[in-house]
């Protein structure tokens, strides 16, 4: 009999398990974030594979979500950031991408005018999502708060 080894679980695989367990247990991201002791935006990003989790944070999530030890281990692996983790077939993610396509050059030009030549960092970064009531339909206010890093002349 031949046995095919199962590859170790990666961060994106762990994220799929987290999503399934969250749904099965009827948990909210707010409840999970409260257990982790971090903002809901960071906690969600971390459990979806985009931030680094300590062993203690992974074990806290594992306990709350009743995760197998291999999933908890996978949550401590280095994050898989960027395109490999993005699902552009998700309508909301696609629209966010469209917003950058439409307004990216405008934002870039305005940042250069205000700060000079450089970038807005996604490393020293915070994300905030707020729901704002509006008579024409509630609005989502998304704040991207990144440190400006000027290009260095050498």
User: Nearest to residue 122, comparing CAs of 89, 90, 93, 81?
Assistant: 81
Q: List Cβ neighbours of 74 (8 Å cut-off, separation of 6 or more).
A: 8, 9, 10, 11, 13, 14
Catalytic residue of the set 2, 95, 131, 152: 95
Instruction: Supply the DSSP symbol for 73.
Output: H
The two tokens of residue 14 are 């762990």
The question of whether 121 is a catalytic residue gets the answer yes
Catalytic residue of the set 34, 55, 112, 121: 121
The answer to whether 33 and 44 have CB atoms below 8 angstroms apart is yes
Catalytic residue of the set 98, 108, 112, 126: 98
The answer to whether 57 and 18 have CB atoms below 8 angstroms apart is no
Catalytic (active-site) positions: 95, 98, 121
């Amino acid at each position: 009999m031949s046995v095919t080894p199962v590859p170790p679980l990666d961060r994106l695989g762990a994220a799929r398990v987290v999503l399934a367990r969250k749904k099965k247990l009827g948990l909210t991201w707010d409840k999970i974030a409260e257990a982790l002791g971090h903002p809901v935006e960071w906690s969600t990003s971390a459990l979806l594979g985009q931030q680094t989790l300590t062993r203690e944070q992974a074990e806290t999530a594992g306990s709350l979500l009743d995760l197998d030890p291999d999933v908890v281990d996978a949550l401590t692996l280095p994050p898989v950031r960027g395109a490999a983790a993005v699902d552009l077939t998700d309508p909301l993610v696609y629209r966010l991408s469209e917003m950058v396509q439409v307004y990216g050059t405008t934002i870039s030009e305005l940042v250069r005018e205000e700060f000079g030549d450089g970038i807005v960092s996604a490393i020293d970064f915070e994300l905030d999502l707020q729901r704002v009531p509006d008579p024409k339909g509630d609005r989502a206010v998304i704040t991207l708060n990144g440190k400006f890093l000027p290009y260095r002349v050498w």
